[in-house]
Structure 1
């Protein structure tokens, strides 16, 4: 489509990416909040991220089937309604202070986002020339991360206000007094999630009337006569390897965004400071997205951007685990620079040439978002394990807590190596033979 005719659809999709970002990145505030009100370990608290991202595995292929029947616009509308239902589940979850019910609400919201993402990402990729797809997706990323920063700040203020005092009181109270304290804190989710549900429902009705034109991927040459040498999605190595790279990317992106508040708290920093840390990561991404819009494809190819991202991620991972204090927090936030252009670059490289398999390929790439469900709790388990080791070696608890949270970031290194290898070689492989 021409720039003028694609502008309005792009802005509508950008609004949806804004919603993705707002709902996704409040997990950074939810993790320490859930850890306190449900008295969880670090690994258990990171199941907040798992519940959200595992839904992308469960619902990606069903979402592709739904979109085949409903089309993009109706599918997006349904996704928004599903997200609203997930937000409403938070109300009984808060009343009962039941962790699995909170996780169910997060999972349902993730299911709605899966449907939205399965439609929106390929839509914006094929809305214009494939070589400038990363530029368009970078615009989406700006909307996504600005919303994420706002969501993190708003929900950080609403949910984490006074959490330091609550954690101190919990050390000295027990029984009914303790339950009352935790119940009062849990009730703080009622109004925010009720408002969220109403807004999502309104947007669900509005999107059904939105002027979104019908677009389809360009057929591969063999498809022109109704035939194709490719009979299976698994015959596209650039897609399968792209799914693996994207899986790793989402894992490190979620770790960088969702762990940074808890990491700051583990270093002894007050909530009044730590609640801002996720926004540091997100604004680092927004700035880099802006560079992507300017540089790609005129001054830099999508492949070059991906290579540089992988190299920077490797370097930052090594520096983080050898740094301490507030400087290490800033370095974790700087991962946003390494992460920003990975998603925009992998999508066009992975689905280029898929033709009629594009929708299925998009579903596979959406399933890769489950990297956030798997790598994030693995980080939490590594932190818990290292803390036990340090305590057994006689390290003081405060020091062990801080050091284990820092050394847990070793999990980032292999992920960035895989991303770099995909940029260097993986996306060029068009056949397994």
Structure 2
């Protein structure tokens, strides 16, 4: 990532000065990546649970996750404005507080129980995560040496995947294994009393999450995170007006790449348990299927740790293309095969998806120079693409759950296109990136 030269000494420190040790701050930020990955994937175990409690269609089930990602589109720019006014550290603390409030809202949602209040609670949690995303991703990209931004962001994202790896165990044990719906085969009819009891099972896990978030907020409040306000304001507003984001092909095509990638990742993750429990796939209970979901997220974690080293030795565009091609092949398998072969294809897509977000993000802001902050904001807002997982839910209702995975195959095709052609900065981007 190109960094425009400035005279502010604080910027020189944050940008990788030999006298500045950025690793403690990076370690602190890794806990944030872990937590929002952990909470996001709890939804993957929550969705089949809520489908049973509220007797939802696939469209209504995936709408829950759509509301989650709509928060990125709605709160992305307000989060950027909040960071500008309060600074990164205070904004991160506020984000953790918002997430804790949303987690506690799941308690009355479970006691009623109410589908609408559940949607509202998840929107609040996702709004807090949006604030963390807008703050932490550019922070990680800037805080260390510019030449290792792709590798560094992939490494920290690996801790996000570590959170997604442990979350299915947590959700499977504290939600699915303690409910009638979670321990019953697909098609089992629940009584009204059983559905109410199942709904109440979500209270304890979310209270525990709220407590952990509060502890992390206090730890960050007492920590010594370097101020990034000066570091990210590299040039004046007047200077920025001389440049246009839309002249940078790698950003213009990178925004839809993030958007489309999220459709693929979230669609697979949210429908994984529903797919695996089908009689002609694995025919197991949701609680048992959650253990296999762990393997999918584990593949993403392993892929990101490995990818952080691979990206130091091989070009980012070729590496991304190889991972996307692998993801496309296994998704074709998931859409066409039966039994355990189809299930393992869906598990392996986690490995293919592993490096996509951090690599696309780093490639998208490459060469932006004085427009790096605005470009980062657009890429984070594109995470709202996860909201279109409802389209896959509609396809599953209309054409069958397995056939809905052809949408994921198409998503992988675009990522391959972006990696090999769309991600290359044009002449304007290269010139401005050296400013």
Where does structure 1 lack aligned partners over 5 or more consecutive residues?
387-403
- The residue number in structure 2 matching 1:332 is 346
- The residue number in structure 2 matching 1:347 is 361
Of the three residues 395, 398, 402, the one matched with 1:385 is 398
- Cα–Cα, structure 1 residues 279 and 303, in superposed 2: closer, same or farther, change >3 Å? same
Q: Which moved more, 1:153-162 or 1:1-10?
A: 1-10
Q: How far off is 1:224 after superposition? A: 8.8
Separation in 2, partners of 1:273, 1:231: 54
Separation in 2, partners of 1:186, 1:321: 32
> TM-score normalized by structure 2?
0.88
Q: Which moved more, 1:238-247 or 1:104-113?
A: 238-247
Asked if structure 2 preserves the Cα contact closer than 8 Å seen for 1:217 and 1:355, the reply is no
- The residue number in structure 2 matching 1:201 is 214
Q: How far off is 1:225 after superposition? A: 11
- Cα–Cα, structure 1 residues 85 and 164, in superposed 2: closer, same or farther, change >3 Å? closer
Asked if structure 1 preserves the Cα contact closer than 8 Å seen for 2:49 and 2:181, the reply is no
Of the three residues 59, 64, 79, the one matched with 2:75 is 59
Alignment partner of 1:428: what SS? coil
Residues 1:39 and 2:55 are matched in the alignment? yes
Q: How far off is 1:313 after superposition? A: 2.1
- The residue number in structure 2 matching 1:183 is 196
> TM-score normalized by structure 1?
0.88
Alignment partner of 1:152: what SS? helix
Separation in 1, partners of 2:68, 2:129: 9
- The residue number in structure 2 matching 1:279 is 294
Deviations 1:352-404 (A, max 9, x none): 23334333222211111112111x22111111101xxxxxxxxxxxxxxxxx2
- The residue number in structure 2 matching 1:259 is 271
- Cα–Cα, structure 1 residues 116 and 185, in superposed 2: closer, same or farther, change >3 Å? same
Deviations 1:302-343 (A, max 9, x none): 222211122222222222222111111111111111111111
- The residue number in structure 2 matching 1:292 is 307
Separation in 2, partners of 1:38, 1:7: 46
Q: How far off is 1:140 after superposition? A: 1.5
- The residue number in structure 2 matching 1:393 is none
- Cα–Cα, structure 1 residues 38 and 238, in superposed 2: closer, same or farther, change >3 Å? same
- Cα–Cα, structure 1 residues 229 and 166, in superposed 2: closer, same or farther, change >3 Å? closer
Alignment partner of 1:9: what SS? helix
Separation in 2, partners of 1:128, 1:80: 24
Separation in 1, partners of 2:301, 2:182: 33
Compute the RMSD of aligned alpha carbons. Answer: 2.4
Of the three residues 256, 265, 272, the one matched with 1:244 is 256
- The residue number in structure 2 matching 1:407 is 403
Q: How do 1:33-432 residues align onto structure 2 when only pairs under 5 Å count?
A: 33-161=49-177, 162-164=179-181, 178-215=191-228, 216-217=231-232, 219=234, 227-228=239-240, 230-266=242-278, 267=281, 268-297=283-312, 299-374=313-388, 376-386=389-399, 404-430=400-426
- The residue number in structure 2 matching 1:392 is none
Q: How far off is 1:34 after superposition? A: 0.5
Asked if structure 2 preserves the Cα contact closer than 8 Å seen for 1:133 and 1:344, the reply is no
Runs of 4+ in 1 over 4 A off after TM superposition: 164-173, 223-226
Asked if structure 1 preserves the Cα contact closer than 8 Å seen for 2:165 and 2:301, the reply is no
Deviations 1:104-131 (A, max 9, x none): 1111000000000000000111122333
Separation in 1, partners of 2:256, 2:121: 27
Separation in 1, partners of 2:320, 2:63: 29
Separation in 1, partners of 2:420, 2:377: 24
Separation in 2, partners of 1:104, 1:26: 16
Where does structure 2 lack aligned partners over 5 or more consecutive residues?
1-15, 430-435
Asked if structure 1 preserves the Cα contact closer than 8 Å seen for 2:182 and 2:286, the reply is no
Asked if structure 2 preserves the Cα contact closer than 8 Å seen for 1:63 and 1:363, the reply is no
- The residue number in structure 1 matching 2:6 is none
Separation in 2, partners of 1:172, 1:137: 46
Asked if structure 1 preserves the Cα contact closer than 8 Å seen for 2:184 and 2:286, the reply is no
Asked if structure 1 preserves the Cα contact closer than 8 Å seen for 2:50 and 2:56, the reply is yes
